[in-house]
Amino acid sequence: MSATIDPAVEKATQEFREKFQKARAEIGKAIVGHDQVVEGVLTCLFVGGHVLLEGVPGLGKTYLVRSLAQAVQLDFSRIQFTPDLMPADIIGTNMIVEDPKTGRRGFEFRKGPLFAQIVLADEINRATPKTQSAMLEAMQEHTVTVAGERYTLQEPFFVLATQNPIEQEGTYPLPEAQVDRFFYKLIVEHSNREELATILDRTTTGHTPDIQPVMTGSEIIEAQKLVRRIVMAPHVQDYAIRLTMATHPGGPYAVDITNRYVRWGASPRAAQALSLGSKLLALLDGRYNTAFSDVQQVYLPALRHRVLLNFEGEAEGVDVDDLLREVIDKTPTMAEAAA
């Protein structure tokens, strides 16, 4: 297999794998545990997507993003979302300024904190839907529009949003159109006993992690291009498509649990996430073709925020992750279907 691969691609692949591991190790100097979350965040960065981190306060979500910003040489900004935050507070606004030489006054655009390469949208579900929606154009188009003028954001542009669970007081559910623009939704769980002991050792003894940058913005952009060169065979792609369509109630590939509990299934962006996420897994494993197992591994983070339960599903407390696991179990791969 390796003999048919362009040597330049093979070299680039090896360099990427090494830098990915270095970035993970640098973040590990500050973040204890949460290995799947860290890998998921790095995955989103290297495929050019955004990530939504959900968990109760105090689990290290913000610290993780800060650590990532230190491990890669990108401009970083943090936006603390609050109920009184306005769209202009994050995008920027036109200000009246006076020329000190001529005394003439005119409008000048003052950029907001959204003009960075890594943007931490902290507790995004504390802001009103109007302000949350102001993120839509930036996340999808990597541009913002103010007073009819369009401004392009610097690449790579990466949004990491944190939110508290929706059932907590003082939060607003994110608009479905905005949620769909997150590549992954990652759940940050509580640390276990051993991890908590390590956290205390690091945070109550004056320990300061020395995180070194391992990648530049241009290297990240090249890595994003490299991921897209990984091959997804037609039968694996078809499996990803059928897994996406299996969440559509009443559709040709819907399974029983979908028809019973789902109101709205995953969008085409889910299939894109399955494709790119599985390609990155193959790349990290030294392969140049994706496998069924790659698609299955990224299925939950790619779809858990894109499937909406109906009234019956909500009333019975159906867990979306459990539902998606059953979808995987009931959806055959192409090989199984042929058998």
CATH of the domain at 136: 3.40.50.300
217-227 helix and 268-284 helix, angle to the nearest 10 degrees: 100
**Both 136 and 239 in a single domain?**
no
**Both 165 and 248 in a single domain?**
no
- Are 295 and 236 contacting, i.e. CB atoms less than 8 angstroms apart? yes
- Are 305 and 175 contacting, i.e. CB atoms less than 8 angstroms apart? no
Give the least confident one: 7-16, 34-43, 103-112, 304-313: 103-112
Please determine, for residue 338, whether its predicted confidence score (pLDDT) is greater than 60. Answer: no
Q: 3-class DSSP state for residue 193? A: helix
Give me the pLDDT at residue 313, please.
92
Task: For residue 168, name the pLDDT band (cuts at 50, 70, 90).
Answer: low
**Both 67 and 182 in a single domain?**
yes
Task: For residue 322, name the pLDDT band (cuts at 50, 70, 90).
Answer: very high
**Both 112 and 186 in a single domain?**
yes
Beta strand pairing call for 118-122 and 76-80: parallel
User: What's the domain count of the chain?
Assistant: 2
Quickly tell me which residue has 């790659």 as its tokens.
294
Convert the pLDDT of each residue in 78-90 to its tens digit: 999 888 888 888 8
211-248 core/surface letters (b: 16 or more CB in 10 A; e: else): beebbebebbeebbebbeebebeeebbebbbbbbbbbb
**Both 69 and 170 in a single domain?**
yes
Tell me the mean pLDDT in the region 43-56: 89
**Both 278 and 181 in a single domain?**
no
Convert the pLDDT of each residue in 296-312 to its tens digit: 999 999 999 999 999 99
pLDDT-above-90 percentage for the chain: 39
Query: Between 107 and 292, where is the model more confident?
Result: 292
169 lies in which domain range? Answer: 1-205+212-228
How many beta carbons lie within 10 A of that of residue 63, not counting itself? 15
**Both 224 and 265 in a single domain?**
no
Angle, alpha carbons 122-295-179 (nearest 5°): 30
Question: Using CA atoms, how far apart are residues 107 and 87, in angstroms rounded to an integer?
Answer: 19
| The most confident of 164-168, 211-215, 295-299, 313-317, by mean pLDDT | 295-299
Stated as kind and residue range, the H or E segment containing 301 is helix 292-303
Give me the pLDDT at residue 210, please.
76
**Both 46 and 156 in a single domain?**
yes
**Both 290 and 234 in a single domain?**
yes
Task: For residue 295, name the pLDDT band (cuts at 50, 70, 90).
Answer: very high
Q: 3-class DSSP state for residue 111? A: strand
0.75 exceeded by pTM: yes
Stated as kind and residue range, the H or E segment containing 281 is helix 268-284
Burial (CB < 10 A; 0-12, 13-18, 19+), residue 2, is: exposed
CATH number, position 295: 1.10.8.80
